[in-house]
Amino acid sequence: MSTVANTVGSERAARRRLRPVRAGHGFVAAYVVLLIAFGVVPTVYAIYFAFTNAGNTFSGLSNFTDAADDFRFLPAVEHVGLYLVFWLASLVVFVVGLALLLHRLAARGVSRALRFLYYVPGALAGAASVMVWLFMLDPTVSPVGFLLRALGFSTFNDVVAPGNLPVLFTLMAFWTGAGGWIVVMYGALNNIPTEVLEAARIDGANAWQTARRIQIPLLRKWIVYMVILAFAGGTQLFVEPQLLSQASVGVAGRDYSLNQLSYDFAFQTNNVNAAAAISVELLLVGLIVATVFVARSGFFDAD
Partner 1 sequence: MPTDFRRSRRTGRDPLAAVVLLLFVVFFVLPVLWLLLAATKTDDQLVHTNPLSFGSWHALRGNWDALTGYQGDTIFLWLRNSAVYAFIALAITLVVAVPAGYALALTDFPGRHTLLIATLVVMLMPSATLVVPLFLEMNAVHLIGSMWSVILPYAFYPFGVYLAYIYFSTAIPRSLLEAARLDGCSEFGTFRRIALPLATPVVALVGFFSFVANWTNYFLPYVLLPQSNQFPVQVGLGTLLDDVPQFNPTVGSLAVERPELALATLLAITPVLVVFLFSQRFLVAGMLAGATKD
Partner 2 sequence: MRHTSRAAGANRAGLSRGRTRAGLAAAVATLTLGAVTACGGGTGTASGAHGSFSPVAQTGGALTVWVDSTRLAAAKLYQQENPQVKMNIVTYDGDANGSNYLQTKVSLFNRTGNGWPDVVFSSQNNETSWAVQDGFTAPLNKGLIPQSTLDQWATGANAPCTVDGTLYCLRNDLSQTVLWYNAPLMKQWGYQVPTTWEQYEALGKQVAAQHPGYLVGDAGDTFTPEVFMWAGKCGANQITGPKAVTVNTTSANCTRMASLLDTLIADKTVSTSSVFSADFDKNDASRILMLPGPSWYGGALFQGTFKTPAKTVAVAPMPQWSADSTPSVGNVGGGTWLLSAHSANLKAATAFLTWVTTADDYQGKLAPGYPAYAPAAKTWLAAQAGSGYYANDITTPLQNAAGQVWSGWGYGQFSQEAIWASTVTPGVTAGKTIVSLLPAWQTAIGNYARSDGYQVSQ
Binders of partner 1 in range 207-246 (CB under 8 A):
207, 221-222, 225, 228-229, 232, 236, 238, 246
56 binds, options partner 2, partner 1, none, Cβ within 5 to 8 A by partner type? partner 2
Shortest approach of partner 1 to residue 269 CB, angstroms? Answer: 12
Report if residue 37 touches partner 1, rule: CB under 8 A.
Answer: yes
Distance CA 130, CA 189 (A): 34
As a whole number of angstroms, the longest Cα–Cα distance in the chain is 71
In contact, 300 and 287? CB cutoff 8 Å: no
Stretch that binds partner 1, among 66-74, 77-85, 150-158, 174-182 (CB under 8 A): 174-182
Shortest approach of partner 1 to residue 237 CB, angstroms? Answer: 10
Report if residue 21 touches partner 2, rule: CB under 8 A.
Answer: yes
Stretch that binds partner 1, among 46-54, 64-72, 82-90, 152-160 (CB under 8 A): 46-54
Report if residue 85 touches partner 2, rule: CB under 8 A.
Answer: no
Alpha-carbon torsion (194, 116, 175, 278), positive or negative:
positive
Report if residue 249 touches partner 2, rule: CB under 8 A.
Answer: yes
Distance CA 229, CA 12 (A): 27
State the amino acid at position 21 in one-letter form: V
Distance CA 77, CA 68 (A): 10
In contact, 124 and 176? CB cutoff 8 Å: yes
Q: Between 60 and 162, whose beta carbon lies closer to partner 2?
A: 162
User: Of the candidates 10, 43, 209, 269, which one interacts with partner 2 according to CB under 8 A?
Assistant: 269
Pick left, alpha or beta for residue 124 (phi over 0 → left; psi -120 to 50 → alpha; otherwise beta). Answer: beta
User: Of the candidates 4, 45, 61, 157, which one interacts with partner 1 according to CB under 8 A?
Assistant: 45
- Residues 122 to 141 in contact with partner 1, rule: CB under 8 A: 122-133, 135-136, 141
* H helix runs in the chain, sequence order: 2-18, 23-35, 41-50, 62-69, 73-104, 108-119, 130-136, 145-150, 156-159, 165-190, 194-202, 207-210, 216-218, 220-235, 239-247, 258-267, 272-297
Distance CA 186, CA 101 (A): 10
Report if residue 183 touches partner 1, rule: CB under 8 A.
Answer: yes
Report if residue 238 touches partner 2, rule: CB under 8 A.
Answer: no
112 binds, options partner 2, partner 1, none, Cβ within 5 to 8 A by partner type? partner 1
b/e map 164-196, b = 16+ CB within 10 Å: bbbebbbbbbbbbbbbbbbbbbbebbeeeeeee
Stretch that binds partner 2, among 22-30, 79-87, 276-284, 285-293 (CB under 8 A): 22-30
User: Of the candidates 103, 149, 220, 254, which one interacts with partner 2 according to CB under 8 A?
Assistant: 254
User: Of the candidates 34, 54, 61, 292, which one interacts with partner 1 according to CB under 8 A?
Assistant: 34
96 binds, options partner 1, partner 2, none, Cβ within 5 to 8 A by partner type? none
259 binds, options partner 1, partner 2, none, Cβ within 5 to 8 A by partner type? partner 1
- Partners of 58 in the β-ladder: 52
158 binds, options partner 1, partner 2, none, Cβ within 5 to 8 A by partner type? partner 2
Radius of gyration of the chain (CA): 23
